[in-house]
Structure 1
Amino acid sequence: MRILLINPEYDGSWFQFHPLKKTFSVYASGVSPPLGLLYIATILENQGYEVNLIDNDALKWSDDESLRFIEENRPDVVGFSILTASCHKAHRLAKKIKKRYPGIKILYGGPSSTTYPERLMKKYDFVDYLIVGEGEYTTLNLIRELETEQNLKSVRGLVYRDDEIIVFNEAGSPIRDLDDLPFPNRSFLKTNYDLSLSWGDFKVRFTVGKYTGMLTSRGCSNSCRFCQTWSNHNGWRGRSAKNVVEELELLEGQGYKHVFFVDDNFSADKKRVFEICKLIKERGIKVYWSVEMSVENGSYEMFKAMKEAGCDSILFGFESANQRILDYYCKRITPELSRKTVEDARSAGISCVIGTFLLGAPDESYEEAKRTVDFGLSLDLDALILFSLSVKPNTPIWNEMKEKGYLTDDFIEKRWETSHINVYELHSKLSKKEIDNLIEDSYTKFLWRPKYLAKHFYRNLRYGFRRKWMAKNLRAIAPFLKASLKTRMMK
């Protein structure tokens, strides 16, 4: 049986540095390989199936190009990974495939399929099967049943049609031992990735050599009220340090120079972090790597070990400078701890420290939001990222908005596959304009502080990673700084 897996192209921008003037939208499209599909493709291939993978978020193929590929390869099943940002293009192509090749089975998986399985099956009659939850073994079991007796009732995590009836099978179980998964076979990929963001007509690359993403854990041990990861109730599951480092060693042998660990919380198991760092050093692996991690798990000793093992950058979710808002989010941190974490990472020699913040909690005042912005500007960060708080399905804030009558079924029906719903659309003391103004002002101030510029220049000279990064990006950074300076002078 032949299977084609497709990662559709995403729509829209990640965020805008100047949301009011609509300048320099940052597009995070096609910047990292689709690891979920890679795992599925690898498992299917290991079982003897013929598999192809199209990452259209990177390749940007037209529908006609994708259809030509299908004509040439004649798959029996075409599977799509569905996100809010990519669902419209997925639906459009899937509908064309089913019309031209009625015998091809259309399979949907991914976050949107897990969140809205019934809505998707009811609205799109060209979808034959839908996977809820982790897709590796549900996909494999479905393919096996399609190939033999088609006993679909036995496939846990599957949604399908039995004549006109939508059938929901028993939920699948999350994979508890991630070491059982094979390493993703990146030879399925038809392009190279560089973790780049497009600023206007230019592209800024955050890598310094051949790059890929890598997953060392799934889930999260925290319980932030805005986050879907822990709301899925699968808990945090980590690969063993030995298993992680073996894949990293394999990637180094394949010529990779930079790896981003895409875990939601790399440092949930502190002991494992130290073990990973120890093994990397023992094996002499020379690869730059970057992570996202929780503030409360870090320490100077951990950051030092990470730095010595090749970690070049860390992204932290600080979210707010107000303890009341942090408590509302169920963040187990304080502003003081956030500041200390940045200081510890700097003292340990981490070359790039990035912080994210959220504005617009339901009862957050303008003064509190402004305090968060000022707090972010006061930290020794290389990049400051500000988001307007959105409500995501099945999270505690989503449920709160529903219970209080701010988020109605009619509203959800209009928006469930279009975009994230911002809190300011439902119930907030802050308007969209106020939030956009704060974001716009903060980026301009952040970039043009003399102390920041001096430190940035010094670190670009001091750290090998940053020297290489700067050399690759001078052409792209210059016009952005020019536009930011112009905005600053207009105020």
Structure 2
Amino acid sequence: MRSQRVILISPKTSFGRNLQRTYAGGLGTVNADEHSLLPPLDLLRLAGVLREDGFDVVVVDEEVASPTEPGSGDLVICHVSLASMREDARRMGQFAEAGARCFAYTSIRRLDHWQEILDLGQCVGLLLPEAVPVVGRLLRGDAQGPGLVTSENAGKEMLLAHDFGEPADEPLPARDLVDHAKYGFPALSGHRITTMNASFGCPYPCAFYCPYPLGEGKKVRTYPVARVAAEFEQCAALGITGVIFRDPIFTFHRQRTLDLCEAIKRTGTGIKWWCETRIDRLDEELIQAMVAAGCVGVEVGVESGDTRMQTEAVRKRLRLDTVRSFVDTARRHDMNIFFLLMLGLPGEDRLSITNTLRFVMSLGLRSAEFDVSVITPYPGTALHDLALRNNWISEEETSFTNYDAVMRNENLSEQDLTEAQQLVAELHRIDGGQAPEALRTEFEAQLTRWADAAGGVRA
């Protein structure tokens, strides 16, 4: 008997390579300055599960491969991101009109968006991230949930909660189904790269504005260390030489991280890798172990270089001296660093923004070592609720790219944030904290003028 064919599709959109579907907790970001293109890890995870369940699986990333045209009788799973939601859903609708039985895969958690995807996409249902381990049974109709949204239950708020199982028994992603030579990541330039998870979830209070807990839950769930090592061996067999870990907090469990580094070293693959974590979950011993295991760099969420914002709004409560110490330690051990910063949180004003940009310069960060996004009130976060109550949001959710000003706060207008982004662009142009003295002095004066403009001085 012929096995059922399933085509997993990452649709091509008008955003092109600027759309990063795995960022922002799976909701996706759009950044014209983004020079990465990452493989569709979520679809590869789904493909691994489905193939083990006996399905005939095809993965098509339309950004790097020719568009596909599923036919009658095919099962289609189409990735749907927030900024491209309507484009993705309409593309899925084309597949449905051709006779395919369609499902959307999405991290979006909003009831009205679910209904819109169901209607525009003419799909049978939506698969949420918690559906990955049981997707085969869901497609066959052998089980109900977790993570399956249909027209019958799309209005039930209970589905907004997470119902994740432990990921231990999940098969390896089907990485052989895409050509990894077509993807790239600046920090691993020259490498054939892939993406990987060693863990999921984030329990920290920055969930007030951060979308990662929306897509992955607040409980940290980990793959066994041996499983991650097996993925490195799989990658080596496929000619992959670079890995970008997509864990929100790679070093959350300290001893596990040390064990993981030892296991990666023992594979002997020589694969280089990159990860994301928190500064307060790093220390010198960890940094040394990570570098010895092939880690070339780490990105860390700092959000703000303003002391008041760190205390009152960022919810990481990082001391700026701790940040400086981390930079010194990382540089001493040849670990590359990348700072994730953010403008526009509640309480932000012109002075706090200029303090953040000055902090970047004081650390000596090069342009390639920092990124500054603008606050985005993702649906499902407490920030979104606060912004709605205060009438701060000026754009609908499908305009949320993480790099466009879509809300104001009590001190800043959207125009203020747009001007701040122009200052960020100028800081990148002069190479951040490595700017020549004359350009640095000129930029400092520009910051002072902007901070002192009408309404810009903190009371």
TM-score (norm 1): 0.76
Match of 1:52 among 45, 55, 58: 58
Match of 2:260 in 1: 276
Match of 1:160 among 150, 155, 172: 150
User: Are 1:361 and 2:345 counterparts?
Assistant: yes
Match of 2:456 in 1: none
CA distance in 2, matches of 1:76, 1:430: 50
Match of 2:397 in 1: 416
Match of 2:178 among 189, 199, 202: 189
Contact 2:310 2:318 in 1 (8 A): yes
Match of 1:9 in 2: 12
Match of 1:226 among 209, 225, 240: 209
Match of 1:303 in 2: 287
What's the CA shift for 1:43?
0.9
Match of 1:398 among 379, 384, 387: 384
What's the CA shift for 1:420?
4.5
1:208-357 equivalence runs, <5 A? 208-224=190-206, 225-231=208-214, 233-327=217-311, 328-350=313-335, 352-357=336-341
CA distance in 2, matches of 1:398, 1:167: 20
- Bigger CA drift: 290-299 or 440-449? 440-449
Match of 2:104 among 108, 111, 136: 108
CA distance in 2, matches of 1:50, 1:373: 51
Contact 1:278 1:309 in 2 (8 A): yes
Identity over the aligned pairs, expressed in percent?
20
| Count of matched residue positions in the alignment of Structure 1 and Structure 2 | 419
What's the CA shift for 1:93?
1.8
AA at the equivalent of 1:156: P
CA distance in 2, matches of 1:173, 1:427: 30
CA distance in 1, matches of 2:383, 2:432: 39
> Structure 1 residues 348 and 430 mapped into 2: Cα distance closer, same or farther (>3 Å)?
same
> Structure 1 residues 75 and 340 mapped into 2: Cα distance closer, same or farther (>3 Å)?
farther
Match of 1:389 in 2: 375
What's the CA shift for 1:367?
0.9
> Structure 1 residues 124 and 323 mapped into 2: Cα distance closer, same or farther (>3 Å)?
same
Match of 1:371 in 2: 355
SS for the counterpart of 2:108 is: helix
- Bigger CA drift: 426-435 or 415-424? 415-424
Match of 1:85 in 2: 83
1:418-437 equivalence runs, <5 A? 418-420=399-401, 425-437=407-419
AA at the equivalent of 2:126: L
> Structure 1 residues 270 and 291 mapped into 2: Cα distance closer, same or farther (>3 Å)?
same
What's the CA shift for 1:251?
1.4
Contact 1:179 1:239 in 2 (8 A): yes
SS for the counterpart of 1:302 is: helix
Match of 1:134 in 2: 130
What's the CA shift for 1:267?
1.1
AA at the equivalent of 1:213: T
AA at the equivalent of 2:192: K
What's the CA shift for 1:346?
0.9
SS for the counterpart of 1:134 is: helix
CA deviation string 1:200-241 (max 9, x = no partner): xxxx67422221111111111322121122256441112222
CA distance in 2, matches of 1:432, 1:170: 34
Contact 1:42 1:184 in 2 (8 A): yes
What's the CA shift for 1:35?
1.1
CA deviation string 1:140-171 (max 9, x = no partner): 222222xxxxx66x343322235xx8575975
- Bigger CA drift: 430-439 or 380-389? 430-439
Match of 2:120 in 1: 124
Match of 2:168 in 1: 179
CA distance in 2, matches of 1:75, 1:361: 48
What's the CA shift for 1:243?
1.9
CA distance in 1, matches of 2:201, 2:74: 32
What's the CA shift for 1:290?
0.5
Match of 1:36 in 2: 42
Match of 1:467 in 2: none
AA at the equivalent of 1:25: A
AA at the equivalent of 2:417: I
What's the CA shift for 1:447?
5.3
What's the CA shift for 1:313?
1.3
CA distance in 1, matches of 2:13, 2:254: 35
> Structure 1 residues 380 and 442 mapped into 2: Cα distance closer, same or farther (>3 Å)?
same
- Bigger CA drift: 128-137 or 438-447? 438-447
- Bigger CA drift: 208-217 or 121-130? 121-130
Contact 1:131 1:138 in 2 (8 A): no
